[in-house]
Amino acid sequence: MNFLISGGTGFIGKYISKSLHEKGHHTYILTRSPKTNMNTDNTTYINYNYPAEELPIMEAVINLAGESLFGYWSSKKKNEIINSRLEATNHIIDMIKNMKTKPNVFISGSAVGFYGISEDLIFTESTTEVGKDFLSEVTVKWEEAAQQAERLGIRTVYARFGIVLGDEGSLPLMSLPVKMFAGGKIGSGEQWMSWVHVEDAVKLIAYCLFHSELKGPVNITAPNPKRNKEFMKILSKSLKRPYWFRTPSTLIHATIGEMGQLITKGQYVLPQKALENGFEFTYPELKDALGEIAKSQKK
């Protein structure tokens, strides 16, 4: 089967593409610079102007493109975060409209930021109330753009990613102070961290691809969120480093501004749909997830 992926050269996209290759599928990677990548037997890089009508039949389209959240959230950066996601999604929808045969499913990236921030509420896909911060605004607009695929009669999944743990993404940044023997809780340490091992994130995306009962929002998170103080304690142990320093929230926000809420605030998100539909996590517990990542990095 053939799969079209935007954001396929990114952290999660590379893992998804590799997973599909291992199952014998071919991926077409949308990129702004296809000439800098080399095509292989199972990967074809194409630019965003590639005529959709010339593509082979696509089983699915996966949209993960968007400006990184990392960096100081100036007005310009915020606009780039929102506009990059909307532009990529709208362009992909236009490509789907021009395909001779429509894909069976459209999986569009989103985030648990949809739910907003809370230290005591539990969020599932049944939660309809939207948060009131910047990330909530981003995810709402992103999902609204992706809804165009539903109106074309295509099964659409909004993949609401939590903190994806792996050799890239946010974990290396979180691990740095721990590795420098300055690890500890951040702020109050009470904020929830809804995490998922990258292998489970990819595995759940694949599950969504081939299970037609899954549609609408799907939380890409492990079933056991942790408060920051517990998360950092387990991370320190997995890296064989002490857990003793506390990083004040004021220092985080003074250093990186509003983006600091990614670290100092959070939400308790459960993957209700995955669990109800029989999905089995390889790493349901944080200790095992971080232990595996630490072990793989030593190889």
pLDDT digit string (tens) for 87-137?
A: 999 999 999 999 999 999 999 999 999 999 998 999 999 999 999 999 999
3.40.50.720, 2.40.50.140, 3.40.640.10, 3.40.50.1820: CATH of 2-297: 3.40.50.720
What pLDDT, on the 0 to 100 scale, is given for residue 173? 81
What pLDDT, on the 0 to 100 scale, is given for residue 299? 59
What pLDDT, on the 0 to 100 scale, is given for residue 182? 77
Identity at 74, one-letter amino acid code: S
Q: What is the mean pLDDT of residues 262-290?
A: 95
Percent of the chain topping pLDDT 90: 77
DSSP letters, 233-260, are HHHHHHTT------B-HHHHHHHHGGGG
pLDDT digits 0-9 by tens, 42-91: 999 999 889 999 999 999 999 999 998 888 899 999 999 999 999 999 99
Residue 176 has pLDDT above 90, yes or no: no
Lowest mean pLDDT among 52-66, 175-189, 229-243: 175-189
